[in-house]
Chains A and B, each alone.
Chain A
């Protein structure tokens, strides 16, 4: 579904992502792991068109999307839940959800998806007219994910959705992601710090280190990989500050 071939990308002359090859098949959850600054967010931003790759190509459903502007990539069905949630804090919860469906005009489909969002995250229905900036961190993450559902995505890019959330919310978000694959038919490329939890629900994974893919495999293989256990899953796993 998504095929990244030899992509290098970065701001200015510094390449944060170097010659990356990555494949996401339809119906998969693929997890992208790596330390802080490994280039995970840069890669997602490059897929979404917020950054132009310096070289390589990105192919979605047989069509090149690299170099396209973000809104055209969204139109193709590639929707990103950005790091830090990207909530429009001066708008209401309802307006945020409406913005998710910005490119759509199928009223019935939008209504249906809104109901699905409320089913998944009933809390959002209670907060509908509240200013989104006043939501708690967990609620904001629900809103960010619900808003992405409103875009009717084919491929969902999620940049650290569990970051800074309480364990309860982490469980909720992880379950939602699993349901996206199993019930909603979304394909998911997930960037996570929480390697264990992510690999538990993922089909395959890639490890990014200073901009390069250093390891890839099925989620099971990665969970059992000793080196990886030491680096990401073990007791002395690096924990992230914020």
Chain B
């Protein structure tokens, strides 16, 4: 029973990883760039959500979209000022620039919010549902539900809309997309906006799940999002969705299987990453990303 209990926690945790990883993988898809500052966008989203709730007392269903819009705009700003102007001919330059953004965002957050944990307000009144020996909190259901809903909306957006199709075209080839009439720069910008909005949502959900947020939380999620992206296959959105859930489940299983005094959750997560890199570098659901 405790395993089943943990599985539910794992799905909740994993769904937030998925949201982060989808953003990573979208950006990797269109630019071939590892957007290192993606975790900091999540952190920014968590704090934005916190202050929206604290100052305005708005309910979650308004706070969440507002936060997504705000982090979406943050993503646009990052792309426009720190990535777009950089020449792509210098291989490491864009990556280094995103690392610079990471440090800037983190230190700004420390200056503004202090370098310690801040309690995330209760966005919803927590109810506990009991099914026999099984207890599920309304928090976890809500987090999982919101994450899955966002993923479905995103999936529809990418699969069925004109902009989504253009994003896939740009991910295959900037040259071809341009020859088809796609404004490649604009689509790249939109991709950053969408990815950052998802990271912002993940930030709020993480705040609700863990009750405490810090300016340092970005790195953990940036790295785990990276693991999930590798797990799902670079540039593969559905892979990222499933990969997040797998990592979440794997982490909580490790908590169940290994005595909790030794906290090996992260050893587990990054051990998985190294194993994937060794045995299946294209990811579990690998679409190989062609370099042109």
Contacts and interface: CB of A to CB of B under 8 A. Distances in A.
Contacts of B180: 74, 99-100, 102, 147, 151
Nearest to B175: A50
B179 A91 contact: no
Contact of A49 (B166, B178, B182): B178
Interface in A33-89: 48-50, 69-71, 74-75, 79-80, 82, 86, 88-89
Given A90-B287, A102-B166, A70 B173 contact: no
B181 interface: yes
Interface string B25-53: 00000000000000000000000000000
A95 interface: yes
Contacts of A75: 181
A88 B168 contact: yes
Interface residues of A, number: 24
Given A86-B173, A88-B173, A70 B179 contact: yes
A80 B180 CA distance: 8
Contact of A82 (B179, B184, B287): B179
A154 to B, nearest CB: 14
B165 A79 contact: no
A98 interface: yes
A208 B91 CA distance: 33
A48 B228 CA distance: 38
A192 to B, nearest CB: 19
Contacts, number: 62
Nearest to B170: A88
Contacts of B184: 70-71
A146 to B, nearest CB: 13
Interface residues of B, number: 18
Interface string B160-203: 00100110110011011011111111000000000000000000
A80 B169 contact: no
Nearest to B171: A90
B179 A48 contact: yes
Nearest to A74: B181
Contact of A71 (B168, B173, B182): B182
B176 A69 contact: no
B179 A98 contact: no
B121 to A, nearest CB: 43
A237 interface: no
A29 to B, nearest CB: 20
A71 B169 CA distance: 13
Given A91-B168, A99-B169, A102-B162, A82 B176 contact: yes
A172 interface: no
B172 A88 contact: yes
A98 B165 contact: yes
B160 to A, nearest CB: 10
A39 to B, nearest CB: 17
B175 A86 contact: yes
Contacts of B178: 48-50, 69-71, 74
A99 B182 CA distance: 9
A71 B183 CA distance: 6
Nearest to A98: B165
Interface in A69-125: 69-71, 74-75, 79-80, 82, 86, 88-91, 95, 98-100, 102-103
Contacts of A80: 179
A49 B183 CA distance: 12
Contacts of B183: 69, 71
A12 to B, nearest CB: 9
Contacts of B179: 48, 50, 70, 74, 79-80, 82, 86
13 contacts: A49-B178, A69-B178, A71-B178, A71-B184, A82-B176, A86-B176, A86-B179, A89-B172, A91-B168, A99-B169, A99-B182, A103-B181, A151-B180
Given A74-B178, A91-B165, 16 more contacts: A69-B183, A70-B181, A71-B178, A71-B181, A75-B181, A79-B179, A80-B179, A82-B175, A88-B168, A88-B176, A89-B172, A91-B168, A91-B169, A99-B169, A102-B180, A103-B181
The 8 tightest CB contacts between A and B, nearest first, are A70-B178, A103-B181, A74-B181, A86-B176, A102-B181, A71-B183, A71-B181, A80-B179
